[in-house]
Chains A and B, each alone.
Chain A
Amino acid sequence: MRKIMLLLLLGLWSFLQSTMVTGYISDSNTGEPIRFATVIEQKTLQGVQSNRQGYYSLSIKKKGKFILQFSQISYKTVLTEIAIDDIDKDIEINVKMEKASVEVQGIQVLGEFNETVNSREIKVGRIFQKAQELGALPQVAESDLIRSLMALPGVTPISDFSNGMYVRGGSPDQNLIRLDDTDIYNPAHFGGIFSTFSTDAIDTVELLKGGYPAIYGGRLSSVLNITNRDGNRKEFKGVARLSMISASTTLEGPWHIGRLKGSWMGSFRRTYVDAIKSFFDGIPDYYFYDAHGKLNLDVSKKDKTNVSWYTGEDKLMLDVGAKMEMSWGNSAYTGQWTHIFNPGIFGRLIVSHSHFQSIIDVTGDDKQLFLRKNMLDDVSVKGTISQRYNNHNTADYGFESKFMNILFKTDSDEQYDSDSMPYINCRSITNSIFYHHNYTTDNFWTFEPGIRVNWYKTLDISLEKSPDREEFDVAPRFSIKRQLDFNSNVYFSIGKYYQYLALASADQSSPLDLWFPIEGTVKPSESEHYILGYKRQLNDYFAIESEVYYKNYRNLVEYDPVTDYIWNNSEMTMEDAFYIGDGHTIGTDFQLRNDWRGLQGFVAYTFGMTKRKMDDFNYNPNSGVAQDYYPKYDRNHQVNLVENFNLTELTGKHLWGAEFKIGSNFSYYTGQPTNSPEEVYFDGEQFHYLYSYADRDRLPDYVRLDLNLKLKWYKKGWTIEPYIEVINALNHENVWSRSYIGTINEDTGISNITYEDSSMFPFLPFLGLNIEF
Chain B
Amino acid sequence: MKKLLSILIIMVLLAGCDLTSGKRWTEHRVVIAGSLPAGGYLDTGNPIRIGKTISADGGNVSDLFDFDAVVYLKNMTRADSVQLAFYADNSVFGFIDSNNEMKIRFGETYRIDAIVDGNHVWAETTVPDSVFITTDPLGNATGTRGYSTSNTEPLPQIEFDTCNEQFPVEVLFTNNKNFNMRYRYYCLEDFSTDLEYTTVVLGIEHPTSDQEDDWNPDFGGGMRENNWIARYQPILNQNNRWSFNDDYYASGFSFYGKYLFEIKIMDDNYYKYLSYPEGYRFGGVNGGLGYLGSDYAVTFYTNIVKQYSR
Chains A and B belong together in one complex: yes
Interface size on A, residues (CB 8 A): 74
The CA of A382 and the CA of B286, in the complex, are separated in Å by 56
| Mask: chain A, 312-331; 1 = CB below 8 Å from B; 0 = not | 00000011111000000000
Contact residues in B for A415 (Cβ distance below 8 Å): 232-235, 244-246
Partner of B19 from the list A417, A561, A636 (CB cut-off 8 Å) is: A636
Does B20 interact with chain A (Cβ within 8 Å)? yes
Given A678-B55, A683-B291, A688-B280, A548-B233 contact (CB < 8 Å)? no
Q: B21 and A696: CB pair below 8 A? A: yes
Interface presence of B217 (CB below 8 A): yes
A99 adjacent to chain B (CB < 8 Å): no
Closest to B180 in A: A417
- Once A683-B290, A751-B58 are accepted as A-B contacts, the answer to whether A417 and B233 lie under 8 Å apart by CB is yes
Task: List chain B residues, Cβ under 8 A from A284.
Answer: 202
Residue of A nearest to B55 (CB): A679
- Is B276 part of the binding interface, using a Cβ–Cβ cutoff of 8 Å? yes
Which one of B14, B26, B61 has the greatest number of beta carbons of chain A within 10 Å? B61
- Is A172 close to B, CB under 8 A? no
Q: What is the distance, in angstroms, from B287's C-beta to the closest C-beta of chain A?
A: 12
B248 x A364 contact (CB < 8 A): yes
Docked Cα-Cα span, A634 to B53, in Å, equals 31
Contact status of A742 and B231, CB under 8 A, knowing A637-B15, A693-B24, A696-B20: no
Q: Which residue from chain B places its CB closest to the CB of A322 in the assembled complex? A: B251
Report B243 CB to chain A, min CB distance, Å: 9
B19–A562 contact, CB under 8 A?
no
Which residues of chain A in 420-440 are interfacial with respect to chain B, using CB atoms and an 8 Å cutoff? 420
* A690:B25 contact, CB within 8 angstroms: yes
Distance in Å from the Cβ of B75 to the closest Cβ of chain A?
Answer: 22
Measured as residues with beta carbon below 8 angstroms from the partner, the interface class of chain B is 35 or more
Stretch at the interface among A220-228, A293-301, A398-406, A621-629: A621-629
* Complex CA distance for A634 and B23, rounded to whole angstroms: 19
CB distance from B175 to the nearest CB of A (A): 14
> A655-687, CB under 8 A of B: which get 1 and which 0?
000000000000000000100011111111111
Q: Are B218 and A681 in contact (CB under 8 A)?
A: no
Q: Which of B219, B221, B247 has the most CB of A within 10 A?
A: B219
Q: Write the nearest CB–CB distance from A265 to chain B, whole angstroms.
A: 38
Contact A414 B248 (CB under 8 A): yes
If A415-B235, A415-B244, A416-B230 touch, does A753 touch B56 (CB 8 Å cutoff)? yes
Quick check: is A695 within 8 A (CB to CB) of the other chain? yes
Q: Collect the chain B residues with CB atoms within 8 Å of residue A281's CB.
A: 202-203
A365-B248, A561-B277 known; A682 vs B51 contact (CB < 8 Å): yes
From known contacts A369-B248, A686-B219, A742-B219, infer whether A282 and B204 are also in contact, taking CB-CB under 8 Å: yes
In the bound assembly, the distance between CA atoms of A282 and B203 in angstroms comes to 5
List, in ascending order, chain A residues with CB within 8 A of B29's CB: 621, 679, 681, 690
Measured CB to CB, the nearest residue on chain B to A364 is B248
Interface-centre pick from B25, B199, B204, B220 (highest chain A CB count, 10 A):
B25
Residues in B neighbouring A695, C-beta threshold 8 A: 19-21
Which one of A420, A562, A607, A741 lies within 8 Å of B15 (CB-CB)? Answer: A607
CB distance from B285 to the nearest CB of A (A): 11
Contacts of B34 in A (CB 8 A): 683-684
Which residues 162-208 of B have a CB within 8 angstroms of A? Answer: 164-165, 178, 198-199, 201-204
Q: In angstroms, how far is the closest chain A Cβ from the Cβ of B252?
A: 9
Given A319-B201, A417-B233, A629-B21, CB of A684 within 8 Å of CB of B56: no
B21 x A590 contact (CB < 8 A): no
Q: With an 8 A cutoff between CB atoms, is B27 at the interface?
A: yes
Indicate if B7 sits at the interface (CB-CB under 8 A).
yes
| Pair B54/A680 contact, Cβ less than 8 Å | yes
Bound form: Cα–Cα A690–B24 in Å: 9
Whether A681 contacts B20 in the complex (CB less than 8 A), given A690-B25, A750-B60, comes out as: no
Q: A365-B164, A590-B8, A677-B56 are in contact. Are A686 and B28 (CB under 8 A)?
A: no
B289 within 8 A of A: yes
A-B contact pairs, 16 of them (CB 8 A): A414-B248, A420-B231, A607-B8, A609-B19, A634-B19, A679-B25, A680-B219, A681-B53, A681-B64, A682-B49, A684-B47, A686-B221, A689-B56, A695-B21, A744-B218, A751-B60
Q: A414-B246, A686-B219, A696-B21 are in contact. List 11 more A-B contacts (CB 8 A).
A: A565-B276, A636-B15, A679-B55, A680-B56, A682-B64, A684-B47, A684-B94, A697-B20, A741-B219, A751-B56, A753-B56
> Which chain B residues have a beta carbon within 8 Å of chain A's beta carbons?
1, 4, 7-8, 11-12, 14-15, 19-29, 31, 33-34, 47, 49, 51-62, 64-65, 94, 164-165, 178, 198-199, 201-204, 213, 217-221, 230-235, 244-248, 250-251, 272, 275-278, 280, 282, 289-291
The 4 closest A-B pairs by CB, nearest first: A686-B220, A281-B203, A683-B33, A321-B251
Residues of A within 8 A of B (CB): 281-284, 318-322, 364-365, 367, 369, 414-418, 420, 534, 536, 546, 548, 561-562, 565-566, 587-588, 590, 607, 609, 620-622, 627, 629-630, 634, 636-637, 673, 677-698, 740-744, 749-753
